[in-house]
Structure 1
Amino acid sequence: MRVGASGPQAPDVAWERYARPALWSTWAPQIRAVECDAPRLVAGARGSVVAAVPSPVAVRLPFTVTDVDEPGRTWSWTVGPRVLPLHLQHGVEPAEGGGSSTWLVLHGPWPVIAAYAPLARLALRRLVR
């Protein structure tokens, strides 16, 4: 499944919001916090995202960054428990007429990606605004 969004943000700024995991919670409402062993996306980086869900305990989802292409502004990662992982591919491109477009390709069990897609679309809109 592929979702995307376009907005006025410059591609380099939108990419920087991706490239620094500490910034993810500023634009992705489904993420409360990020713990990562690298300050910037690099292949092999590991960590966990703390999901923004109502729960008495923090819901942490482990992740591994699998690929990063800084000049191409693309990256991918595997996130979630071993029994139900998602593989997500992300990119940022210049938009026609200015601003940027961002996209996400989701791979995983259909019910999970179908439920996650609306949250992802909202986050992508916030990334490029």
Structure 2
Amino acid sequence: MTTLTLTARGTAPVDVAWERYARPDRWPGWSPQIRRVDATAGRIAPGVTGTVRAVGGVSVDFEVLAVDEAARTWTWRVRLGPLTLHLEHAVRPDASRAADGSATELRIDGPWPVVVGYAPVARLALGRLVSR
């Protein structure tokens, strides 16, 4: 297993960036690899499950494991066949900016080839998450 942490900063207000995470129907708007999300609820919460439909016909099943709305953090498990990734997300105000802005962090735990292969796409998506 490998762990990789990615970060991004942008001009989107922290509440805007969090709402983009909190509502699975918004994921395709900032995550270019996602075409559609079918989820059991309209907002992430522990126990919410679903399927992310990605480019190239790839579909991955997921389960949300934990959500802390006040801290703007959440954790989920994603499965593609026998492969499993655990992803921990956080959105915070960007302390390096005088005005509105947000920072996000993603910790990915999983098999080395999958984590390393997913990192460039995740990095692009995170940048879009925190952009106006």
Q: Same fold (TM over 0.5)?
A: yes
Tell me the number of residue pairs that the alignment of Structure 1 and Structure 2 aligns. 125
* Counterpart selection for 1:6 from 1, 5, 9: 9
Distance in structure 1 (CA, Å) of the matches to 2:27 and 2:20: 7
Q: Is the 8 A contact 2:17 2:129 kept in 1?
A: yes
* Counterpart selection for 1:106 from 94, 105, 108: 108
TM-score (norm 2): 0.92
Partner of 2:23: 20
Q: CA RMSD in A?
A: 0.9
Q: Kindly indicate whether residue 52 of structure 2 is the aligned counterpart of residue 52 of structure 1.
A: no
Distance in structure 2 (CA, Å) of the matches to 1:76 and 1:28: 17
Query: 4+ residue runs of structure 1 moved beyond 6 angstroms?
Result: none
Where in structure 1 are there 5+ consecutive unaligned residues? none
Q: Kindly indicate whether residue 36 of structure 2 is the aligned counterpart of residue 37 of structure 1.
A: no
Partner of 1:90: 89
Identity %: 50
Distance in structure 2 (CA, Å) of the matches to 1:105 and 1:118: 14
Structure with the higher fraction of residues in strand conformation: 2
